[in-house]
């Protein structure tokens, strides 16, 4: 049973949102035989540690090859979210993945945009795109992605961000990339405080023009930093199921979601790479209720925080807000 409280999601990687069934369908579409190790006996993605996860993720993502594939991944993901009561989802696109399979920035974007439009006309769900660069590919590649964002404005591209290996390079190395996009008025977010500790969050906040943090949970290791996050109203894109699946925390009782919230930090709930972490946005809300004790009013508050922090125009934001408070 998924709670039918209206939900909003700010942190989901599109390539990581493709279900095993869709990945098998896309593999067939391109006459690709995936290695047997990609799936377990039940047909789910199979991985046993973080490095293996990255490998399986890359194998599965490699079948997303055309604008139509991107449209299908986006459409199916948003329709699944809508079926669980989500009214708004931001998906992170990765032009570097598209480039790796020979697709142009604009082609991959048009595919994603078509998926968003089709899902909206069928279900009413709103979607936006955060274009991301990949930290371990380096600052120069980041600048290239940023230039593409600025050179090809798109009404559904409403933010910029960065994922990838938090231990590669320093946030300040990416200040030029973020600066290029931020100068045009697009808001930014960045992964920090997931794999690396509180210092990574501090370094990101000092160097980059961000108003949200992907994860950010390990800020908890530095009480002064937690106060700063609360004072500045930085919104945390918290992904509890992902954090447990990847071993950032050993168990939900070790997860700092409640402490961060009690300290005044602005919290949202997100699925990150849902089929890999055996989660969905609906299950994240359910778990917040079952494990963290959120009642429906608290879950609505989480959704309202996500809508306040959404990278979206004010008219859409108000429409979304009305769906939560109504």
Tell me phi and psi for residue 132, to 5 degrees.
-120, 150
Give the count of beta carbons closer than 10 Å to the beta carbon of residue 4.
11
Angle at 12 between CA 149 and CA 260, to 5 degrees: 110
| Catalytic annotation present for 194 | yes
- Least distance from Zn ion to the Cβ atom of residue 218, Å: 14
- Please tell me which residue in 144, 194, 237, 284 is annotated as part of the active site: 194
Residues 102-141 interacting with Zn ion (rule: CB under 5 A): none
How many binding residues for Zn ion (CB under 5 A)? 1
- Least distance from Zn ion to the Cβ atom of residue 90, Å: 12
- Least distance from Zn ion to the Cβ atom of residue 242, Å: 7
Q: What's the CA gap between 268 and 261, in Å, rounded?
A: 10
Query: Which string of x and - marks every residue 254-273 that binds Zn ion (by CB under 5 A)?
Result: ------------------x-
The residue sitting closest to Zn ion, measured at its beta carbon, is 272
Q: Is the four-CA dihedral 166, 172, 174, 180 of positive or negative sign? A: positive
CB 37, CB 82: distance < 8 Å? no
Nearer to Zn ion, 49 or 107 (CB): 49
- Least distance from Zn ion to the Cβ atom of residue 124, Å: 26
Nearer to Zn ion, 57 or 294 (CB): 57
Token pair recorded at residue 5? 């409280």
- Least distance from Zn ion to the Cβ atom of residue 12, Å: 8
Nearer to Zn ion, 166 or 272 (CB): 272
Long-range residue pairs from 181-185, CB within 8 A, at least 24 positions apart, any chain = 181/146, 181/149, 181/150, 182/209, 184/150, 184/153
Nearer to Zn ion, 6 or 193 (CB): 193
Tell me which residue of 173, 168, 170, 144 sits closest to 160, measured CA to CA. 144
Task: Give Cβ neighbours of residue 169 (< 8 Å, ≥ 6 apart).
Answer: 135, 136, 138, 139
Nearer to Zn ion, 5 or 276 (CB): 276
CB 251, CB 257: distance < 8 Å? no
Q: What's the CA gap between 116 and 77, in Å, rounded?
A: 9
Nearer to Zn ion, 5 or 273 (CB): 273
Q: Is 15 in the site for Zn ion (CB under 5 A)?
A: no
Q: DSSP secondary structure string, 178-199?
A: HHHHHTTT--BEEEESSSS-HH
- Least distance from Zn ion to the Cβ atom of residue 26, Å: 22
- Contacts to Zn ion by CB under 5 A: 272
The catalytic residues are 194
């Amino acid at each position: 049973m998924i709670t039918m409280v209206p939900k909003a999601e700010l942190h989901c990687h599109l390539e990581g949102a493709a279900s095993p069934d869709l990945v098998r369908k896309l593999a067939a579409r391109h006459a690709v035989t995936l290695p047997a190790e990609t799936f377990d006996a039940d047909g789910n993605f199979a991985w046993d540690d973080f490095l293996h996860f990255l490998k399986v993720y890359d194998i599965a993502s490699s079948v997303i090859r055309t604008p139509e594939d991107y449209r299908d991944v986006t459409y199916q993901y948003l329709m699944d979210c809508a079926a669980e009561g989500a009214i708004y989802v931001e998906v992170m696109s990765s032009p570097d993945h598209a480039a790796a399979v020979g697709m142009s920035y604009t082609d991959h974007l048009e595919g994603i945009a078509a998926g968003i439009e089709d899902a909206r006309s069928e279900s009413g769900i709103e979607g936006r795109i955060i274009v991301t660069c990949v930290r371990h590919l380096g600052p120069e590649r980041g600048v290239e992605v940023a230039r593409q964002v600025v050179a090809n404005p798109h009404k559904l591209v409403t933010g910029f961000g960065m994922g990838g290996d938090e231990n590669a390079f320093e946030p300040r190395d990416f200040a030029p990339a973020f600066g290029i996009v931020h100068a045009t008025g697009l808001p930014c977010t960045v992964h920090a405080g997931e794999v690396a500790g509180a210092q990574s969050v501090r370094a990101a906040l000092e160097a980059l023009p961000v108003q949200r943090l992907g994860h950010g949970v390990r800020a908890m290791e530095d009480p002064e930093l937690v106060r700063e996050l609360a004072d500045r109203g930085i919104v945390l894109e918290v992904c509890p199921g992902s954090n447990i699946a990847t071993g950032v925390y050993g168990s939900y009782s070790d997860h700092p979601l409640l402490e961060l919230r009690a300290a005044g930090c602005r919290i949202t709930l997100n699925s990150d790479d849902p089929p890999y972490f055996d989660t969905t946005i609906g299950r994240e809300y359910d778990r917040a209720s079952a494990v963290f004790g959120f009642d429906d009013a608290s879950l609505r508050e989480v959704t309202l925080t996500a809508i306040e922090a959404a990278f979206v125009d004010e008219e859409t934001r108000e429409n979304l807000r009305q769906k939560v408070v109504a």
